[in-house]
Amino acid sequence: MAASQGKSLKAYIENILVAKADTLQLEVQNPSPSGDEFFSYPENLNETADRVNEYKKGKTKSKIVLKSAEDINKFINNL
């Protein structure tokens, strides 16, 4: 088929894959193992992603570093 259309096999397959990808309809499911309702709302997921990106860019305001369960427990106990 590729040769009859004057295309390389690679170009032919890429066209097929792009056409299939364009027709896909994806449904995002709740990523929480416990089914937490917080993750059922796209705006919450978007805000969470935005906060992660801000953290990765070093634009967060907090200088608290919690690397272990012990660090988290100390932080919570000092609130």
Q: At 14, is the pLDDT very low, low, confident or very high (cuts 50, 70, 90)?
A: very high
Q: Which tens digit of pLDDT belongs to each residue from 26-78? A: 776 777 888 888 888 889 989 988 988 888 888 877 777 778 888 888 888 88
| pTM of the predicted model as reported, rounded to 2 decimal places | 0.40
For the chain, what is the radius of gyration of the CA atoms?
23
pLDDT band of residue 19 (cuts 50, 70, 90) is very high
Q: Is the dihedral of CA 68, 73, 74, 75 positive or negative?
A: positive
Residue 2, pLDDT score: 64
User: Which token pair is 56?
Assistant: 């990765």
